[in-house]
Chain A
Amino acid sequence: MTDKRMTAEQVVSELRSGMTIGIGGWGSRRKPMSLIRAILRSDLEDLTVVTYGGPDAGLLLAAGKVRRLVYGFVSLDSIPLEPHFRAARQAGAVEAVEYDEGMLYLGLYAAACRLPFLPTRVGLGSDLMRINPDLRTVRSPYDDEELLAVPALRLDAALVHLHRADIHGNALCLGPDPYFDDLYCAAADRAYVSCEQVVPTEQLTPAASVLVRRHQVRGVVPAARGAHFTSCDPDYPRDERFQREYAAVAGTDRWAAFRQRYLDTDEAGYQQAVAARGPQMEVIR
């Protein structure tokens, strides 16, 4: 069987500007942040990003990588509003395709099943159809119900971060919630899984916790603390202190220094800079 290990740079080299990229996790939880940071260092632009958004969306928007954002929300969880997302929305700098959270699920599920759409009540009567004029309704062939047809959200690539994976692309979720990571992978032409730890296949137990299977996965990226600063429970919680700093400097003249220290470097440099903060964090002023 294939050894699918690759680096974040190799993943990014397989992506193209203009692609539609789905990002796993939920809000500021278990985001594939090391892969996001690799995209930030690349020339990629003009992306359509599909996400239950957190700092993944915020960082990509701040870097001007996103033309179109498909989302149910963008939040840092413990900080309800993502500052870069707000700034981009209020500047009209991104095409916003806003869906109900459940519609996003149905769109990914339709794509995973190779269906053009899935019907739902969700969105009926709301302004979603006004702000997304591409949305259509469909009449039930069994009764008189008219339902909203959520279009399939087919992805060129999916990026997810999980706790353990083998070299072939089977990956285990140890956390309290798988979110929709397997659906992102199933909805994508190419799925890339970054993981806290690569282990032998026989250590992927219990089998019921294997969330993503190798037939869906093109690349496995070993990335210890790769979800930082989002949570990756039970391996590590969200780095609330770092997140507060991230949110506090967003949109200020301190953002450039933050970017220089944490983002204008490779992943090892990022992790070193985070570790160097120590218990007495030196706050960028």
Chain B
Amino acid sequence: MTGTAPTRAEVCVVACAEAWRGDGEILASPIGLVPTIGARLARATFSPELLLTDGEAALGVGTWPVGGSPTQTEGALPFRQIFELIWSGRRHVMMGPGQIDRYGNINISAIGDFHRPKVALLGVRGAPGNTVSHPCSYWVPRHSRRTFVEQVDLVCGIGYDRAASAGPSAARFHQLRRVVSDLGVFDFTGPDHRMRLVSTHPGVTVEQVHEATGFELWTGGEVPQTRLPTAHELTLIRTVIDPAGHRDAEVRR
């Protein structure tokens, strides 16, 4: 199947991979399938220094398929040491928000009133600590007004406005890099660190993105198309990292 045009899922994989470009020797922590493929792709190509876990407590060597395990490891990384690594800033996570707002505040804990939620989600997990400690990015497999909201119900990971109002201790290491959805790529370089539409994926219009977003999105001029995977990247995705094609189940459009 190499040689056929890239699918939407493959464009998303590369857009996620780009989040870790230039990060050097840090732990890349992808949450979700498409970011996982992306992180492995980044390390196999333009960010070879990245550290990747095997999904449990070891650091893997080489490039291995999703659902599989690395044939070789380069050391243990149990949870307790991950927290020390987080607090020292040597990590860049890509999380999957249940809700995200224009400043990058995210909710992964509870929809509705916290004390009696309409929908109980995962819990705040590591989001409060991640966002005040090291770079964070986000992956949204289904871009909609339910996810891109005017205001999140519970701020788990903090956005730029909350980091600023909470003071220097919160803002010192706060850094939101990018948001990738199945419609486009976003960052926070709009006025006052508002979310900006960086690029739309092939076949997606700017109007479509605005329509699916529950707040006013900054564009600031012409919006380019998200870059396409190279032939080498497509080969890696299709034959090495995700030969079974799981990516197409996560990106349905």
B-side residues, CB < 8 A to A, are 56-58, 76, 78-80, 83, 86-87, 109-110, 114-129, 131-133, 154-158, 162-163, 165-174
Contacts and interface: CB of A to CB of B under 8 A. Distances in A.
B179 to A, nearest CB: 18
Interface in A58-72: 71-72
Contact of B163 (A101, A125, A176): A125
B122 A80 contact: yes
Kindly state the interface size class of chain A when it binds its partner: 35 or more
Contact of B162 (A71, A103, A125): A125
Given A71-B123, A92-B115, A102-B126, A127 B166 contact: no
A101 to B, nearest CB: 5
A127 B123 CA distance: 12
Given A128-B124, A147-B169, 17 more contacts: A72-B126, A73-B123, A89-B110, A90-B118, A91-B116, A98-B123, A121-B170, A122-B129, A123-B132, A124-B169, A125-B132, A126-B128, A127-B114, A127-B154, A127-B156, A128-B128, A180-B80
A62 B178 CA distance: 40
A231 B170 CA distance: 37
Contact of A81 (B86, B114, B122, B171): B122
B79 A180 contact: yes
A100 B126 contact: yes
A32 to B, nearest CB: 17
B119 to A, nearest CB: 7
A101 B126 CA distance: 5
Contacts of A128: 124, 128
Contacts of A100: 124-129
Contacts of A239: none
B165 A125 contact: yes
A179 B82 CA distance: 11
**8 residue pairs, one from A and one from B, having the closest CB atoms:** A125-B166, A73-B123, A89-B120, A92-B116, A124-B170, A122-B129, A177-B57, A125-B158
A145 B168 contact: yes
A73 B108 CA distance: 10
Interface of A: 26, 71-75, 80-81, 85-86, 89-92, 96, 98-103, 105, 120-128, 131, 144-147, 176-180
Nearest to A178: B78
A140 B57 CA distance: 34
Contact of B79 (A71, A73, A124, A177): A177
A105 B80 contact: yes
A209 to B, nearest CB: 12
Contacts of A179: 78-80
Contact of A177 (B78, B86, B125, B167): B78
Contact of B124 (A26, A98, A178): A98
A147 B167 CA distance: 10
22 contacts: A73-B124, A73-B125, A89-B116, A90-B116, A92-B115, A92-B116, A100-B129, A101-B126, A102-B87, A102-B126, A121-B133, A121-B173, A122-B132, A124-B158, A124-B167, A125-B155, A126-B157, A176-B57, A177-B56, A177-B78, A178-B80, A180-B80
A100 B123 CA distance: 8
A176 B173 contact: no
Contact of A126 (B114, B117, B155): B155
